Amino acid sequence: MKLVGAILILITTTIVGWEYSSRLSRRTKQIRYLKIAFEALETEMVFGMTPLPYACEKVSYQLISPLKSLFTNVAKRLKEEENSAQEIWCSSVKSWKNKTDLSEAEINILLQFGQTLGQQDLEGQRKQIRLAISYFDQEEKQAVESQQKFESMYKSLGFLGGVLIVIIML
Amino acid sequence: MKEVLQVLPESVRKLTFSLPSNVMNEIEEIRLRVNRPIEVRTHTKTYVLREQSTPIIFSEGDGALMMSLLSQHSVYRLEEELKRGYITISGGHRVGLAGRVVMNKGEVKGIRDISSFNIRIARQKKGVAKKFLSQIQYRGSWCHTLIVGPPKSGKTTLLRDLAREISIGTSTPVRPMNVGIIDERSEIAGSVKGVPQHDFGVKVDILDACPKAEGLMMMIRSMSPEVLVVDEIGRKEDGDAIMEAVHAGVTIFASVHGENLDDVMRRPTISHLFQQGFFQRAIELNASTKKGVVRKLESDQKTSIGKIRL
């Protein structure tokens, strides 16, 4: 009986450890996709002159979950609701952030980007997108670093933590 | 009207709806200014939008929202429009803008922080040209015609309907003709993305937002029009281009700002058009009585050949 319990504890803590470490790698991946998304958005807005709702829709086709849902949602709301783009973008980002592994820093970049969305002329809009992308670049670097540092640590910490609990309880 | 209501913020739209329907049908302008009451103007009267007898104030937020609705949340697409100072929305209505102007190398680059919107409602009045048709043709073809009138006398409305009648050609003995419209201010056709928002029949080609002098020649070269329609001629180049067009065998319909015909004839930039006897007919419009007088022009002398109520 004791043995079964010990194995169960070990399995749980290991899974938790794995989850934490994979969160790190998912964050890096999602930041990369954010960059791709913003580059696509730039192309649509600046070169394609596509209206914002349709630009967001087109960008969403090129993305995978969870980013896809943000752009799909924004595009849908822009078409249906009568509200400023800034309002729609920010509230969409806020309700969407729990579905992602992004940290507060990235969410803040997104929110800040939303403040001027669709309200500036071509040059200004382009600068805003470029600025967001350069912020994401930095965040990506930092995310890669912490991934390298902590990824294996979380994994082994999970397993070893389990071992510790088992030993104490024995 | 539907298209106009769509670009108004919700609160304003609701109040506009509450206006009596006879006022609604006659609205010519809606003026929205940040931190000021909203005015709705018909030809004769001005109404202030009120909620329970207190005028509502158009807030800064409303202004930003309106800009979003006007541009489909995409101000970056309006580069050209902001440079010219107005946006044409579907339905051919025009929204004039005022605010802080941004300059670049001594040229107007656009308008930012927009504080005033003036929505001018375009109404196609089909049939206003009908009564004039018989007097501006001669032996089965149209005469070169100039429409003279002060602002808001209906010059553009008449020009638009003339273009329609000429292209359809059913109410006159003259066959339908290819009409080319050079619409520098997007007012005759009210084009959105190059597509006219008014009904012109089949045989109409439009150069939207094209300078008149260049446009006249472009049309002649590329679209082989039989009739050319231009709005608000006035600069010297316009006069020269019209001469060229007349020599190319195209009939010209033009409008010009002016109190009356004498006033226009004295203007140095286009007076040579009269001296050389290019225009065969002139229609004088009166803003207050809404009447039109057709005059037959023969080089220097002018004779009135009939008064028509618009």
Predicted complex ipTM? 0.72
Start and end residues for every CATH 3.30.450 domain found in chain B: 2-120
Cβ distance of B76 and A118 shorter than 8 Å = yes
Tell me if A16 is assigned to some domain: no
Q: Do the domain assignments include residue A128?
A: yes
Q: Of B9, B8, B229, B194, which Cα lies nearest the Cα of B88? A: B194
Q: How far apart are CA B58 and CA B33, in angstroms?
A: 6
The verdict on A1 touching B (C-beta cutoff 8 Å) is no
Between these two residues, B250 and B43, which has the higher pLDDT value? B250
Stretch B114-119: mean pLDDT, rounded? Answer: 91
- Which stretch of DSSP H or E encloses residue B145? strand B145-149
Q: How far is residue B257 CA from its own chain's centroid? A: 12
CATH number for the domain running over B130-309: 3.40.50.300
Residue B305: its pLDDT value, please? 63
Which of A82, A86, A117 is best to mutate for the B interface (most B CBs within 10 A)? A82
Contact B305, B135 (CB under 8 A): yes
For residue A135, the model assigns a pLDDT of: 92
In chain A, the number of structural domains is 1
User: Measured between beta carbons, which residues in chain B are less than 8 angstroms from residue A48?
Assistant: none
Closest by Cα among B207, B231, B202, B200 to B221: B207
Q: How confident is the model at residue B307 (pLDDT cuts 50, 70, 90)?
A: low
- B307 bridge partner residues: B293
Torsion sign across C-alpha atoms B272, B277, B279, B284: positive
Pair B278, B298: CB distance under 8 Å: no
Cβ–Cβ contact B104 with A under 8 A = no
CATH number, domain B2-120: 3.30.450
For tokens 């007076």, what's the residue?
A: B271
Q: Residues of CATH 3.40.50.300 domain(s) within chain B? A: 130-309
Percent of chain A past pLDDT 70, that is, above it, reads 100
Other CB atoms within a 10 A radius of the CB of residue B217 amount to: 15
Q: Is B67 on the interface with A (CB under 8 A)?
A: yes
Residue B229 has pLDDT above 80, yes or no: yes
> What does the pLDDT average to over A2-17?
89
Encode pLDDT of A11-50 as tens digits.
Answer: 999 999 888 888 888 888 888 988 999 999 999 888 888 8
Q: Which residues pair with B285 in a beta bridge?
A: B292
- Length in residues, chain A: 170
Alpha-carbon distance B59 to nearest alpha carbon in chain A (angstroms)? 14
Tokens standing for residue B149: 């009138």
Confirm if B156 and B188 have CB atoms less than 8 A apart: yes
Q: Which of A50, A121, A129 to mutate to test the interface with B (most CBs of B within 10 A)?
A: A121
CB distance B231 to B159 below 8 Å: yes
Mean pLDDT for B128-143 is: 84
User: Which of 53-92 (A) contact B at CB < 8 A?
Assistant: 53, 55, 78, 82-85
Contacts of A46 in chain B (CB under 8 A): 76
The tokens describing A77, both together, are 């709301």
The whole-chain average pLDDT of chain A stands at 88
Establish if A69 belongs to a structural domain.
yes
> Is B283 in contact with B291 (CB distance < 8 Å)?
no
Residue A20, domain member (yes or no): no
Residue A95 belongs to a domain: yes
Strand pairing report for B227-230 and B251-257: parallel
SS3 A41: helix
Distance in angstroms (rounded) separating the CA atoms of residues A153 and A17: 9
Q: What integer pLDDT is reported at residue B304 of this predicted model?
A: 60
User: A70: domain range?
Assistant: 34-148
Binned at pLDDT 50, 70 and 90, residue A133 comes out as: very high
Locate tokens 């329970």: which residue? B52
In a domain, A83, yes or no: yes
Q: Does B76 touch chain A (CB under 8 A)?
A: yes
**The model's pTM:** 0.72
- Name the token pair of B61: 């937020």
Flag whether A12 is in a domain.
Answer: no
Burial class (CB in 10 A: 0-12, 13-18, 19+), B293: middle
Give ∠ CA B47-B292-B209 in degrees, rounded to 5.
70
Residues of chain B found within 8 Å of residue A51, distances taken between Cβ atoms: 71-74, 77
By C-alpha distance, which of B28, B18, B6, B249 is closest to B156? B28
Question: Minimal CA–CA distance to B18: which of B68, B61, B65, B53?
Answer: B53
For chain A, the C-alpha Rg in angstroms (whole number) is 21
> Is B73 in Cβ contact with A52 (below 8 Å)?
yes
Whether residue A121 and residue B71 make contact (CB cut-off 8 A), yes or no, is: no
Q: Is there a domain that residue A167 lies in?
A: no
Q: How confident is the model at residue B300 (pLDDT cuts 50, 70, 90)?
A: very low
**What's the Cα-to-Cα distance from B201 to each of A133, B108, B123, B126, B178, rounded to whole Å?**
50, 37, 17, 12, 10
